[in-house]
Amino acid sequence: MITTTRYNLRAMTEADILQVAAIEHESFPTTWPQTAYRRELANHLARYLVVVDRSHPPILDADQPARHTFLGIFKRKNPAAPTTDYIVGYVGVWLMVDQAHVVAIAVREAYRGLGLGEMLLSEAVDLAIENRQDSVTLEVRRSNLLAQRLYEKYRFLKVGVRKRYYSDNHEDAIIMTTPPIQDDIYAEHMTYLRDAWQARWGA
């Protein structure tokens, strides 16, 4: 696991939904319908992680995104009180029969370029390894070359295309998949990448 003094990575809870939904809306404004996070948290196949900025002052209720802004995520009369942590990114992973699928990864715009997307991706791969998955797969927009370079750094390979996958502009999705992640060679590569991340961002 990657560690840092400023950022804490932990499992997502119901109390985080408002902020995670706000990050989703900022990062993927054309996504509709919005992710049903309450259902995702109850899904035994799904794992969601969030990154918290420990240096940020606690978030008061008045500073939280409005509940009515995100339709459908607070249908219950008494949802959990929103967290006071300041969440700056999240990743969602589905653990299938033998392959983990990264369903979403996003970082607040103000926190991009600080290695947090890589931190989340690294943890998603570690999660798959710990749960005895054979590989990790995801989809990425054909035009998102920056994300593709990050995935390639973790040895994701382009293995297919989903034509006109994205509903907003009918852009193709590139399917990317890792080689076997249980192999010692891949484990050595992950150790190298974690050490490189720590050397650059860990302080």
Task: Say if CB 202 and CB 3 are below 8 A apart.
Answer: yes
CB of 57 closer than 8 Å to CB of 103 = no
Query: Residues 6 or more apart from 46 whose CB is under 8 A from it?
Result: 40, 92, 93, 94, 95, 103
- Is 151 annotated as catalytic? yes
Query: Annotated catalytic, 90?
Result: no
CA 116, CA 89: separation in Å to the nearest integer? Answer: 7
Q: What backbone torsions phi and psi does residue 159 show, to the nearest 5 degrees?
A: -120, -5
Of the residues 48, 90, 151, 154, only one is catalytic, namely 151
Name the pairing type of β-strands 7-11 and 173-177: unpaired
Q: Within a 10 A sphere around the Cβ of 117, how many other Cβ atoms? A: 20
For the chain, strand residue ranges (E) read 7-11, 46-53, 87-95, 99-107, 135-141, 157-162, 173-177
User: Which residue among 139, 165, 166, 171 is the active-site one?
Assistant: 139
For 13, phi then psi, to 5°, come to -125, 175
Q: Catalytic amino acids?
A: 139, 151
